[in-house]
Structure 1
Amino acid sequence: MKNNYMLNVTSEISKLKTVLLHRPGKELENLVPDLLEKLLFDDIPYLKIAQEEHDSFAQILRNNDIEVLYLRDLAAESLTTNELREQMIEDFLEESHVFGQDNKEIIRQYLSDFNNYQLIDKMMAGVRKEDLKNYKSKFLVDMVAREYPFILDPMPNLYFTRDPFATIGNGITLNNMKTGIRNRETIFAKYIFENHPRFKDKKIPIWFNRNEKTSLEGGDELVLNDKVIAMGISARTDAASVEKFAKNIFNDGQTFETILAFDIPKKRAFMHLDTVFTMVDYNKFTIHPEIEGPLTVFSITKGTNNDLNIVREEDTLSNILKKYLELDKITLIPCAGGNKIDAPREQWNDGSNTLAIAPGEVVVYERNYVTNELLKDHGIKTHLMPSSELSRGRGGPRCMSMPLIRE
């Protein structure tokens, strides 16, 4: 596939050309019941089937002439010198809160024995205490937690590549994740965009950086068109982050003129904006039935002297979208038609979370058959992917994909 290797995303629905995925690995086998809440999971997927499902997802994309890149490969290929490799290990140990130089040296030596690909795999999978027979910490915090099975926690959320960073325009937000257990994921993106041969000389602008003090996650960032961005103020994204992002992108001379900040309920069912709202065609959207009514939305535009104009607008979702997308008609497709039984069931399995690969063409979980039929009834072409195990992580096809280039 020929492209100029630059980033470009100015729409949620334009033809997808290049996408970043992460094929689930051994990190899923380091999920245990007692740690599910800490690791942000509700259940434990069966790795073998999860990988088969993910491979089916990737093949759907390839069959539609979409270049598929993998996070693990790009991260490994970014370690082009021994100095970079050593620095990544140091950064990873620091963010994993490994205490003491003796402990760091033991783990550093352990990780240094791997080649680049094995190193990334091990960072992602986590390091069990049983992997390091000589690991004996002298620190009280470790002694108190002596029954804890890991030296480095696994990173099971990695297959949701949407969240650690987001491509907007020809730049990215390199996000500061809400939870420390996920914030380590952004280290991989940092090294990729700074050092991978494909990206390092492209001068990719960063609209928001991982060293910010407030949180921002990619599931709350939707590019509706080349003028309007939707962002969620959610359980995972802070209002201050939206303001910081807005100032940076408006001052760069990008085409975007308005940011619609959706103040959504701060609960797990509404984790990110894209779990309750995704774009499937120019004027068609899937939604969680509970957000169809009056919403609190803040329109943000560029002011003077680096200020922002922020206006509170309370209206229905349909009217807000018609106003800012300059459309006469908006069609909202509620998950499972809003049925009191089908809708909560399919929403639990991300029925409203779709990945558009072209206008009116989306990838969806096959298990959400009620919603999928509704999409077809509205003229949307659906590519069905298996999802019995992947869906246990509470994220859909959009969550599992990071578009890098769209037409």
Structure 2
Amino acid sequence: MDLSKGALNVRSEIGKLETVLLHRPGHEVENLTPDLMDRLLFDDIPHLEVAKKEHDTFTDILKKNGVEVLYLEKLMAETIEDESVKEKFIEEFLNESDLSGEGSKKALKDYFNSLDNSKIIYKMMSGVRKNEVENYKDISLADMVKTDYPFIIDPMPNLYFTRDPFATIGSGISLNHMRTQTRNRETIFAKYIFDYHPRFKDQTIPKWFDRNESTSIEGGDQLILNDKILALGISERTDAKSVENISKRILNSDEGFERILAFNIPKKRAFMHLDTVFTMVDYDKFTIHPEVEGVLTVFSITKGNNNKINIVKEEDTLENILKKYLNLDEITLIRCGGNDAIDSAREQWNDGSNTLAIAPGEVIVYSRNHVTNKLLEENGVKIHVIPSSELSRGRGGPRCMSMPLIRE
């Protein structure tokens, strides 16, 4: 592993992508059942073998374009090579796993300690079935009440969307507190990687937000428009209080960010995160959900005195807001699905406006969003198309599946 690249540096949505963190879908997807889908935030069950092939194509495109690809599962296995870190990690993981009783905890601790490091991480991510642990017994009342439930630890099928558990902002991270307990467990991996992995542990990495805070924020609501301006979503998954807290820390740091635009978007599944509403594909081009073309409520946040912030409420169109604060005479808004209501609804469902820029005017997109993809090309955007029949079933696009660590 190249330790000479430095730790983290992201000050743009579109700067040439140099290093990115991914998670290749694993057996956690196979552990999804119809009864679990709603609680684990899925609408369907992807076919794992096909999803892995699609994800490998995604990885290949990144590598062919000079991007260093790091895998969450590999970094985490390397992190716990230190035995003291592994012991601490297992204990904390079990404490956060909603175990029924002490019997479950002891059985799982013994089980994890019998595995090699890679297998420990694999099983934590994929979930642990009761029949996989030889000495598991229903020895407490809490265990016995759940005796028909097949899992001791639930799977984490959302992990291949690495964008949400944390976000790189400047040289620091927002280690997020996720809206649901199901996903909040995911953030423990980032916590240990940035505290203890050899690549990061001796680096100075500011923490703009912490997973133990009481209000929620997710990476899909955190966009870096340029080295001066951030966009944050107040959404179904991100609280206004979180936006206020993270704004104070970033604006009163020496990172150089001068303004945060907090977009108040509808609190519903179709508008789950800000990056399902719009993503930046070039200096002056954005993909958008057609429903956000009307007047929006935006809060412009700047640094105040004595570590405070100033907040100004504005109501204007997305086009005017972006032109004003990015200092552009004209911008191009590329509608997901174009002007056709049926195409727009279908391709928005499949994250047609959730693209990953690997350089200015060059993005990765899902193959199934062919109408939006054609519009991108007609507007001078170079596209790299990946197959998406199974990955898209998790309701997230290429941006959702990637966490940039370094951009030019």
TM-score interval for Structure 1 and Structure 2 normalised by the shorter chain: over 0.9
User: For residues 147 and 238 of structure 1, what CA distance do their matches in structure 2 show?
Assistant: 36
Residue matched to 1:311 = 312
Residue matched to 1:14 = 15
Deviation, 1:338, is: 3.2
User: For residues 217 and 373 of structure 1, what CA distance do their matches in structure 2 show?
Assistant: 30
- The range that moved more, 35-44 or 72-81, is 72-81
The one-letter code sitting in structure 1 at the alignment partner of 2:259 is T
User: For residues 10 and 83 of structure 2, what CA distance do their matches in structure 1 show?
Assistant: 33
CA contact (8 A) 2:177 2:218 kept: yes
CA contact (8 A) 1:129 1:135 kept: yes
User: For residues 142 and 287 of structure 2, what CA distance do their matches in structure 1 show?
Assistant: 47
Q: SS at 2:354's partner residue?
A: coil
1:294-347 per-residue CA deviation (whole Å, 9 max, x = no partner) reads: 001111111111221111100000000011111111111110113110000000
1:329-385 per-residue CA deviation (whole Å, 9 max, x = no partner) reads: 111111011311000000000000000000000000011000000000100000000
Deviation, 1:3, is: 4.9
User: For residues 327 and 4 of structure 2, what CA distance do their matches in structure 1 show?
Assistant: 31
The unaligned stretches of length 5 or more in structure 2 are none
- The range that moved more, 282-291 or 128-137, is 128-137
1:261-288 per-residue CA deviation (whole Å, 9 max, x = no partner) reads: 0111111111100011100000100000
Task: Give the length in aligned residue pairs.
Answer: 407
User: For residues 198 and 80 of structure 1, what CA distance do their matches in structure 2 show?
Assistant: 13
Residue matched to 1:202 = 203
Residue matched to 2:74 = 73
Structure 1 segment 293-312 matched on structure 2, within 5 A: 293-312=294-313
1:149-168 per-residue CA deviation (whole Å, 9 max, x = no partner) reads: 11000000000000000000
- The range that moved more, 116-125 or 98-107, is 98-107
Deviation, 1:97, is: 1.7
Q: SS at 1:404's partner residue?
A: strand
Deviation, 1:106, is: 0.9
Residue matched to 2:138 = 137
CA contact (8 A) 2:363 2:383 kept: yes
Q: SS at 1:298's partner residue?
A: strand
- The range that moved more, 135-144 or 88-97, is 135-144
User: For residues 3 and 325 of structure 2, what CA distance do their matches in structure 1 show?
Assistant: 34
CA contact (8 A) 1:80 1:195 kept: no
1:239-262 per-residue CA deviation (whole Å, 9 max, x = no partner) reads: 000011011111211111110101
Residue matched to 1:28 = 29
Deviation, 1:2, is: 8.5
User: For residues 254 and 107 of structure 1, what CA distance do their matches in structure 2 show?
Assistant: 43
The one-letter code sitting in structure 1 at the alignment partner of 2:80 is L
Q: CA RMSD in A?
A: 1.1
The unaligned stretches of length 5 or more in structure 1 are none
Deviation, 1:140, is: 3.5
Does the alignment pair 1:183 with 2:184?
yes
The one-letter code sitting in structure 2 at the alignment partner of 1:63 is K
Residue matched to 2:406 = 405
Structure 1 segment 115-154 matched on structure 2, within 5 A: 115-154=116-155
The one-letter code sitting in structure 1 at the alignment partner of 2:223 is L
Residue matched to 2:220 = 219
The one-letter code sitting in structure 1 at the alignment partner of 2:317 is T
Structure 1 segment 224-373 matched on structure 2, within 5 A: 224-373=225-374
User: For residues 131 and 79 of structure 1, what CA distance do their matches in structure 2 show?
Assistant: 22
User: For residues 166 and 87 of structure 1, what CA distance do their matches in structure 2 show?
Assistant: 24
Q: SS at 1:338's partner residue?
A: coil
User: For residues 69 and 178 of structure 2, what CA distance do their matches in structure 1 show?
Assistant: 24
TM-score normalised to structure 1 length? 0.98
1:134-181 per-residue CA deviation (whole Å, 9 max, x = no partner) reads: 323344443332221110000000000000000000100000111011
User: For residues 107 and 347 of structure 1, what CA distance do their matches in structure 2 show?
Assistant: 41
